[in-house]
């Protein structure tokens, strides 16, 4: 069961690159090989029962209130399930991780998605209550998205809240564990940090390469190797993501948005937005409010 869920093709879900499950009864597939390589990053929280999982060469014994982050590309094997296993599971694709960690307050959370080692934490009762509540909130919001295909502000807030809570837990339980990042991974983390601060004003690869004292070609190669995306594409995604948030606020005019995003004119902003979304800013705003009223 875990094998199939973690390795889901997340591109087909209402929120591309993301899925969540509340598993009230885990069914072990007797006689079937439960060995697999994780195709996505998974965050698993145990509500009840016991779960023994081998990740790489380390056996992880999980019980009530245990949290574990399973890195992408990990070799995993389900060893044993004891008791009535009830768990929460969130799965992220790399693409989703990059898009949602470009916010300035969340960018340092990207280390969850590029770290190679699993992280396990035994939460106290309060931490468990908060995190399980966020899981349930996201789960029910996600059900509504599957019904009408509408991704709303509440979804964005709840997912950001989840990533932020993970960051707090990591800081507490892994304070003595320094992530073992390669030089390339460090460059990517630095690039994403600079991007999260400057994407409104600086739209060109040369600025970011210069800030890191490396060539644009080398920066692009490293970023694509770690994230699967080019520097230019990440800049575009950061700009479009922010533009959509601003367009969803009916109090801000298109001219004000263009100025906020450092475009020379409203028309240039409109051409850029339509090129990368297939909708004009006005059409996107109209579509958003029509969906909101229907929701």
Tell me the HSE value of 258 on the side-chain side, using a 13 A CA sphere: 17
β-strands 35-37, 119-122 pairing: unpaired
Q: Which two tokens stand for residue 86?
A: 């009830």
- The closest of 14, 171, 202, 195 to 98, measured between CA atoms, is 195
* 3-state SS record for the chain: CHHHHHCCCHHHCCCCCEEEEEECCCCCCCCCCCEEECCCEEEEEEEEEEEEEEECCEEEEECCCEEEEECCCCEEEEEEEEEEEEEEEEEECHHHHHHHCCCCCCHHHHHHHHCCCCEEEECCHHHHHHHHHHHHHHHHHHHHHHHHCCCCHHHHHHHHHHHHHHHHHHHHHCCCCCCCCCHHHHHHHHHHHHHHHHCCCCCCHHHHHHHCCCCHHHHHHHHHHHHCCCHHHHHHHHHHHHHHHHHCCCCCCHHHHHHHCCCCCHHHHHHHHHHHHCCCHHHHHHHHHHHHHHC
CB atoms within 10 A of CB 51: 22
Residue that the structure tokens 């920066």 belong to: 219
Q: Which two tokens stand for residue 214?
A: 């490396």
pLDDT in tens, the chain (295 residues): 778 888 877 666 666 778 888 888 776 655 456 788 988 889 999 999 998 999 988 899 999 999 998 988 889 998 888 888 899 998 888 777 777 777 766 777 777 777 777 888 999 999 999 999 999 888 888 776 655 545 556 777 788 888 888 888 877 876 555 556 778 888 988 999 899 889 999 999 999 999 999 999 999 999 998 888 899 999 998 999 889 989 988 899 999 999 999 999 999 999 999 999 999 999 999 988 887 666 5
Q: Which domains does the chain have, with CATH numbers?
A: 2-173 (2.60.120.280), 183-294 (1.10.10.60)
- Cα separation, 92 vs 73, in Å, equals 13
Report pLDDT for 141. 81
Q: Which two tokens stand for residue 167?
A: 């960051």
pLDDT in tens, 4-56: 888 877 666 666 778 888 888 776 655 456 788 988 889 999 999 998 999 98
- Cα separation, 4 vs 91, in Å, equals 11
Count of residues in the chain: 295
């Amino acid at each position: 069961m875990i094998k199939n869920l973690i390795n889901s093709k997340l591109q087909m879900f209402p929120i591309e690159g993301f899925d969540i499950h509340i598993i009230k009864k885990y069914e072990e597939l007797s006689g079937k090989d439960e060995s697999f390589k994780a195709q996505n990053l998974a965050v698993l929280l145990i509500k009840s029962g016991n779960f023994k999982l081998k990740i790489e060469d380390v056996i992880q014994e999980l019980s009530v209130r245990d949290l574990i982050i399973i890195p992408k590309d990990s070799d995993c094997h389900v060893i044993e399930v004891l008791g009535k296993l009830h768990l929460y599971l969130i799965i992220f694709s790399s693409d989703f991780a990059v898009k949602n960690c470009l916010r300035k307050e969340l960018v340092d959370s990207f280390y969850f998605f590029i770290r190679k080692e699993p992280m396990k934490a035994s939460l106290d009762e309060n931490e468990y209550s908060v995190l399980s509540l966020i899981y349930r909130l996201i789960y029910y919001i996600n059900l509504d998205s599957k019904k009408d295909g509408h991704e709303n502000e509440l979804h964005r807030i709840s997912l950001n809240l989840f990533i932020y809570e993970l960051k707090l837990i990591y800081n507490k339980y892994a304070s003595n564990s320094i992530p073992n990042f390669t030089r390339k991974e460090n460059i990517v983390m630095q690039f994403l940090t600079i991007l999260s601060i400057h994407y409104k004003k600086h739209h060109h690869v040369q600025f970011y390469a210069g800030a890191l004292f490396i060539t644009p070609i080398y920066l692009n190669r490293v970023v694509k190797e770690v994230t699967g995306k080019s520097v230019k594409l990440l800049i575009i995604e950061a700009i479009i993501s922010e533009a959509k948030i601003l367009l969803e606020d009916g109090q801000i005019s298109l001219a004000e948005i263009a100025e906020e995003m450092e475009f020379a004119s409203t028309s240039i902003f409109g051409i850029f937005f339509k090129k990368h979304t297939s909708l004009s800013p006005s059409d996107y705003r109209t579509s958003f409010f029509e969906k909101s009223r229907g929701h």
